[in-house]
Amino acid sequence: MTVATPLPIMEHTNPFESMMSRFDIAAKMIGLDDDTYNMLRSPAKQVIVNLPVTMDNGSIRVFEGFRVVHNINLGPGKGGIRYAMDVDLNEVKALAAWMTWKTAVVNIPFGGAKGGIKCDPRSMSKGELERLTRAYTSALSDVFGPEKDIPAPDMGTGQQEMAWLMDEFSKIKGYSSPAVVTGKPLVLGGSKGRVEATGRGVMVTARSAMNRLKINPQTSTAAVQGFGNVGSISAKLLATQGIKIVAISDVSGAYYNSSGIDVQDAMNYAEMNNRSLEGYVHAEKISNEELLTLDVDVLVPAALQDQIGAHNAGRIRAKLIVEGANGPTMASADDILDENGIMVVPDILANAGGVTVSYFEWVQNRLGYYWTEERVNRRADRTMKEAFDTVYQTAQKYQTNMRIAAYIVAIEKVANTQKLRGGF
Ligand code: NAD
């Protein structure tokens, strides 16, 4: 009898399960009652819209769009809009809940929301994308609003889509309403410091964690997965702290140099090379999988979700993981990382610098007064440091890891406001 070679175990997660498995542990630890649990599990509002759009060839295509507002106890809904073919209601629901916890962890007065359109933005012309964005805004003009629900960019969208959204919303209302959306171009009311905000928050929380772990930045090394907005800026700012960046990566592969990589040089190279590190010669090429298990002090996954799971968690040698990406660690890895004494600064804390500066953008729009970059950075750094300390102290109090502690901080805050507001 021949024994078939076992297939590698593929780990599948969906964002909702991934979030809820951690939520459940935290809810149990704080003894959350069933009524509050059920309320926090369910989104407050889910909207599906069908958007007819005239394509460049004269045909009309109907796109499906979603917006979910998960919770508004702490303030208006806040969350990005994703343009991708695999967007569905389940994913948007999970991401909206994630935003509720993220804004609560960094203590900003927003709830959680998320939106998406099932489309392939790379195959659409600028005109088609503009008509689609305007149709989406118009269909959701009663959902969005500076006091109600404030979108932002996410995968497949950027400053241009936010400018169209702001313009369409303002036309419908009959007055200029920059505070309806964040992530706008600077000239239309965007905030200084927004582009670097997420990477900056990664650096600040990494520094706080290194202090607690007594890792000296001057003698430490880091590997960063992903070289887009979050990865490249995290790497650049970690290097300014004296940390030697020995590996970087993007979709083309990973690049390793034990003597350290000049991050600005790599950024310049990618900029000139269609945003790709392909062919970067000042480092040895390794795989993205190898990057994750390098012998470094700090590992920053800043590319995709589901990168660290039961299949590779046991081989991770970093002392500290700082999650620049959303959901890079699967729930199946949590116990293994704990057992090996690896501290994980979870996504809802580590990458919340972006939403923090989005909050500052909204504040500036409402004030009609714009801050210097220095002021934005100073306030964002303070917010991130305080959030880190609160989560760290909570982890000590409950004798748990930083991820569950971050959920505890968020759930307690949202649950308390739910009780105070009452009205059921
Ligand atoms: P981006 O599109 O600017 O960059 C993504 C990077 O990941 C690119 O360098 C790409 O080449 C790389 N990549 C893609 N597939 C890869 C693979 N298989 N292996 C290794 N690298 C791969 O995106 P971004 O804005 O930097 O976002 C990265 C992550 O951070 C996402 O999970 C996003 O949700 C999260 N995030 C971003 C922000 C923000 O402000 N941009 C805020 C919070 C969280």
Q: 206 and 342: one domain?
A: yes
CA angle centred on 228, ends 404 and 136, rounded to 5°: 80
Most informative mutation of 251, 308, 312, 357 for ligand 1 (most atoms within 8 A of CB): 251
Same domain, 145 and 215: no
Q: For a ligand 1 pocket test, name from 229, 232, 288 the mutation site with the most ligand atoms within 8 angstroms of its C-beta.
A: 229
One domain for residues 166 and 204: no
Ligand 1 neighbour 198 (Cβ under 6 A): yes
Q: What pLDDT, on the 0 to 100 scale, is given for residue 7?
A: 35
Q: How high is the pLDDT of residue 125?
A: 98
114 among known catalytic residues: yes
Is residue 169 domain-shared with residue 310, that is, in the same domain? no
Find the 254 Cα to ligand 1 centroid distance in Å.
14
| Res 12: pLDDT | 53
The residues facing 372 across adjacent strands are none
Residues 204 and 330 in one domain: yes
**pLDDT for res 4:** 38
Last residue of a domain, one of 301, 326, 350: 350
Q: Does 294 lie in the same domain as 225?
A: yes
The protein residue whose alpha carbon is closest to atom 36 in ligand 1 is 325
pTM assigned to the model: 0.94
Ligand 1 pocket residue status of 254, Cβ below 6 Å: no
- Would you say 56 and 125 are in contact if contact means Cβ atoms under 8 Å apart? yes
Q: Kindly state whether residue 191 falls inside one of the protein's structural domains.
A: no
Is 158 touching ligand 1 by the criterion CB < 6 Å? no
User: Residue 28 falls within a domain, yes or no?
Assistant: no
| Active-site pick, 78, 93, 102, 114 | 114
* CA of 209 relative to ligand 1 center, distance in Å: 22
Q: Is residue 226 part of a domain?
A: yes
Residue 371 lies in a domain: no
Both 207 and 152 in a single domain? no
Q: Domain with 161 in it: what CATH number?
A: 3.40.50.10860
CATH code of 305's domain:
3.40.50.720
Number of structural domains (the chain) is 2
Residues spanned by the domain of 49: 43-176
User: Do 202 and 342 belong to one domain?
Assistant: yes
Question: 302 and 161: one domain?
Answer: no
97 and 214 both lie in a single domain: no
Task: Using the 3D structure, point to which of 323, 350, 377 is the last residue of a domain.
Answer: 350
User: For residue 163, how far is its CA from the centre of ligand 1 (angstroms)?
Assistant: 22
Question: Is the minimum distance from the CB of 228 to ligand 1 under 6 angstroms?
Answer: yes
Atom of ligand 1 at shortest range from CA of 276: 11
Q: Are residues 211 and 337 in the same domain?
A: yes
Judge if the beta carbon of residue 182 lies within 6 A of ligand 1: no
Q: Is 72 part of a structural domain of the chain? A: yes
CA 305 / ligand 1 centre spacing (Å): 9
Task: For residues 329 and 300, give the distance between their C-alpha atoms in angstroms, rounded to a whole number.
Answer: 11
Of 300, 322, 350, at which residue does a domain stop?
Answer: 350
pLDDT at 11: 59
Distance, C-alpha 159 to centroid of its chain: 17
* Per-residue pLDDT at 15: 74
Could you tell which of 95, 250, 274, 330 is best to mutate to test the pocket of ligand 1, judged by most ligand atoms within 8 Å of the CB?
250
Q: Is residue 13 part of a domain?
A: no
C-beta of 249 in contact with ligand 1 (< 6 A): yes
**Residue 242: inside a domain, yes or no?**
yes
Please check whether residue 74 is in contact with residue 413, taking contact to mean a CB–CB distance below 8 angstroms.
yes
Does residue 293 form part of some domain? yes
Whether 95 and 171 share a structural domain: yes
> Which pLDDT score, from 0 to 100, does residue 423 have?
74
Ligand 1 mean position, distance from CA 175 (Å): 35
- HEC per residue, the chain: CCCCCCCCCCCCCCHHHHHHHHHHHHHHHCCCCHHHHHHHHCCCEEEEEEEEEECCCCCEEEEEEEEEEEECCCCCEEEEEEEECCCCHHHHHHHHHHHHHHHHHCCCCCCEEEEEEECCHHHCCHHHHHHHHHHHHHHCCCCCECCCEEEEECCCCCHHHHHHHHHHHHHHHCCCCHHHCCCCCHHHCCCCCHHHHHHHHHHHHHHHHHHHHCCCHHHCEEEEECCCHHHHHHHHHHHHCCCEEEEEEECCEEEECCCCCCHHHHHHHHHHCCCCCCCCCCCEEECHHHHHCCCCCEEEECCCCCCECCCCHHHCCCCEEECCCCCCECHHHHHHHHHCCCEEECHHHHCCHHHHHHHHHHHHHHHCCCCCHHHHHHHHHHHHHHHHHHHHHHHHHHCCCHHHHHHHHHHHHHHHHHHHHCCC
Say what the pLDDT of residue 9 is.
41
* pLDDT (tens place) for every residue of the chain, 424 residues total: 333 333 334 455 677 778 889 999 999 999 999 999 999 988 999 999 999 999 999 999 999 999 999 999 999 999 999 999 999 999 899 999 999 999 999 999 999 999 999 999 999 999 999 999 999 999 999 999 999 999 999 989 999 999 999 999 999 999 999 999 999 999 999 999 999 999 999 999 999 999 999 999 999 999 999 999 999 999 999 999 999 999 999 999 999 999 999 999 999 999 999 999 999 999 999 999 999 999 999 999 999 989 999 999 999 999 999 999 999 999 999 999 999 999 999 999 999 999 999 999 999 999 999 999 999 999 999 999 999 999 999 999 999 999 999 999 999 999 999 889 887 7
Going from the Cα of 155 to the center of ligand 1, the distance in angstroms, rounded, reads 8
Please report the pLDDT score of residue 2 as a whole number.
35
Between CA 367 and CA 390 the distance in angstroms is 29
